[in-house]
Amino acid sequence: MNPDERRVAEFIRSAFHGVTLGNGVGLLQGQGLDDYADEKTLQSLRAQDEKVDWSRLAVDQLDRCHSSLSFFDAEGMRFHLPAYLVADLEGALKQDVIFHLTYLVDGALNRFDLLSLSQREAVRQFLRLRLETGDSFLSSHIQAALDAFWDTPVP
């Protein structure tokens, strides 16, 4: 990681410190939802999910549960998002977290309802950094999401 990535990763860790899953959708549970698992299977997956410390989530598990980001509710997103962001900054994440921060239609904004001001700022800093260092294809999507949501004050 370069110094800017380290700075943003530390800000993310601080902003999301102490966040627990609560009643939110867990990582394995989210993957089960994508796989149309039955209720018994979803309960079993939920029982296996990390619920207390998002920093314990292994990057390979984040990658394996590639579609969970699409199935998180607000509590699930608040808990898992910092793990995805830090893994991305470390260059370890194989999947695209940026899409889930920039695709803001069809009710997707509800997933960010529980983010505090400092957590929103952490996401904004992450996106600003990726805007500076990312490819041109993503830049327009990142800028549009910043303009429409992440840079705007919370009502």
Query: pLDDT per residue over 81-135, tens digit each?
Result: 999 999 999 999 998 899 999 998 888 889 999 999 999 999 999 999 999 887 6
In a domain, 62, yes or no: yes
| Domain count for the chain | 1
In a domain, 135, yes or no: yes
pLDDT, tens digit, for every residue of 140-151?
A: 899 999 999 999
Among candidate residues 10, 142, 131, 7, the one with its CA nearest the CA of residue 82 = 10
| Identity of the amino acid at 98 | I
Predicted local confidence at residue 138, as pLDDT:
85
Alpha-carbon distance 67 to 15, whole Å? 24
What is the band of 17 on the pLDDT scale with cuts at 50, 70, 90? very high
In a domain, 21, yes or no: yes
Predicted local confidence at residue 54, as pLDDT:
98
In a domain, 101, yes or no: yes
In a domain, 155, yes or no: no
pLDDT, tens digit, for every residue of 111-123?
A: 999 999 999 999 9
Average pLDDT (71-83) is 97
In a domain, 56, yes or no: yes
Among candidate residues 154, 149, 19, 33, the one with its CA nearest the CA of residue 85 = 19
Instruction: Look at residue 136 and tell me whether its pLDDT is greater than 70.
Output: no
Alpha-carbon distance 72 to 28, whole Å? 11
Buried b vs exposed e over 104-141: b needs ≥16 C-beta within 10 Å? beeeeeebbebbeeebbebbbbbbbbbbeeeeeebeeb
Check: CB of residue 99 under 8 Å from CB of residue 145. no
Predicted local confidence at residue 135, as pLDDT:
66
In a domain, 98, yes or no: yes
Check: CB of residue 35 under 8 Å from CB of residue 54. no
Instruction: Look at residue 155 and tell me whether its pLDDT is greater than 80.
Output: no
pLDDT, tens digit, for every residue of 43-68?
A: 999 999 999 999 999 999 999 998 99
Check: CB of residue 32 under 8 Å from CB of residue 45. yes
Domain interval for residue 129: 3-150
